[in-house]
């Protein structure tokens, strides 16, 4: 299968490589010419055989909207646009209607896997019409982890990004729980090796998870996280999750509290937020702020 891929950053670049490793042709475009295979969106579209499929991996909001607008003018009826960025699910409905007016299909794809996706595969939650999903299935199969899980057609347009939004809200709460437990263990003089306590939980416990493994990786690098400032940003999806809960009268006390905890990290140096910052860096390559207030080196995935 041929695929156009727009946005070759930390995730997009690795996705291009994983799809190529599965035997498909990927033509990539990025504003950074050192990363791009072609010099413009027009050149990307012209290099693909009809019916075309183009995957968009750019920031949510205006960048995605402008890309969809331009693709709507360049593509033809029967072509397909996949938005794999972190767009708000309400924007997906607008984009689906906008492109459908021109006979162009649309899929929203929530993508999880961070900087480890090239090696481990990406979990995919997609929304859109079944016939459009079927057209892109070879690409989804190339990106997903091996085995029976890691891909779901969640529903109609917007369902993929809504599912990914809720996924990220759960992630916020899980990270906060690990971080608070780590801070309490560090505060008790009787516990002399918090690092190894966390490591011991990796097998046989009900709280074992990939996030716990990543917490241990972070503590391997910096046992007391002394090099980090207790500051953690939020991507926006935690806020959208809480807003959706309010709209539907669904109580989300743990997820809401974890979002507000991140806001508190911007007011003081929170020990728990050091762990949140370390975990975001481990799984997503998000930049961290060191103890002096400077942006530290981003985490890179193996083989990236």
Q: Are 128 and 107 in contact (CB under 8 A)?
A: yes
Q: Tell me whether residue 10 is one of the annotated catalytic residues.
A: no
| Strand ranges (E), 77-187 | 80-83, 105-112, 123-127, 151-155
Per the listing, tokens 């960025």 go with 85
Sequence length of the chain is 304
Catalytic residue of the set 10, 144, 171, 183: 171
Q: Tell me whether residue 223 is one of the annotated catalytic residues.
A: no
- How far apart are alpha carbons 161 and 140 in whole angstroms? 15
C-alpha pair distances (Å), 31 with each of 4, 6, 52, 156, 213: 14, 9, 21, 31, 35
Catalytic residue of the set 164, 183, 237, 274: 164
Give the strand order in the sheet containing 151-155: 25-29, 2-6, 53-56, 80-83, 105-112, 123-127, 151-155
List residues with catalytic annotation: 164, 171
């Amino acid at each position: 299968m041929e695929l156009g891929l727009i946005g070759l950053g930390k995730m997009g670049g690795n996705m291009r490589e994983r799809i190529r490793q599965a035997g498909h042709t990927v033509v990539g475009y990025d504003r950074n010419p050192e990363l791009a295979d072609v010099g413009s969106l027009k050149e990307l579209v012209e290099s693909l055989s009809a019916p075309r499929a183009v995957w968009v991996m750019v920031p949510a909001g205006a960048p995605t909207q402008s890309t969809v607008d331009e693709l709507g003018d360049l593509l033809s009826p029967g072509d397909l646009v996949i938005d794999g960025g972190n767009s708000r699910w309400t924007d997906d409905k607008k984009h689906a209607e906008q492109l459908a007016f021109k006979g162009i299909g649309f899929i929203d794809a929530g993508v999880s896997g961070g900087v480890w996706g090239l090696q481990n595969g990406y979990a995919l939650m997609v929304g859109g019409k079944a016939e459009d999903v079927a057209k892109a299935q070879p690409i989804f199969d190339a990106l997903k982890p091996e085995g029976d899980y890691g891909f779901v057609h969640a529903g109609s347009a917007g369902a993929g990004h809504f599912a990914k939004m809720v996924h990220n809200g759960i992630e916020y709460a899980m990270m906060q729980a690990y971080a608070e437990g780590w801070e309490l263990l560090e505060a008790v003089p009787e516990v002399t090796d918090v690092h190894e306590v966390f490591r011991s939980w990796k097998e046989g416990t009900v709280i074992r998870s990939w996030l716990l493994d990543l917490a241990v990786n972070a503590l391997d690098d910096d046992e007391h996280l002394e090099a980090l400032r207790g500051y953690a940003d939020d991507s926006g999806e935690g806020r959208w999750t809480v807003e959706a809960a309010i709209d539907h009268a669904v109580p989300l006390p743990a997820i809401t509290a974890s979002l507000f905890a991140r806001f508190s990290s911007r007011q003081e140096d929170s020990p728990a937020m050091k762990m949140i910052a370390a975990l975001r860096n481990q799984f997503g390559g998000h930049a961290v702020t060191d103890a002096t207030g400077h942006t530290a080196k981003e985490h890179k995935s193996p083989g990236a």
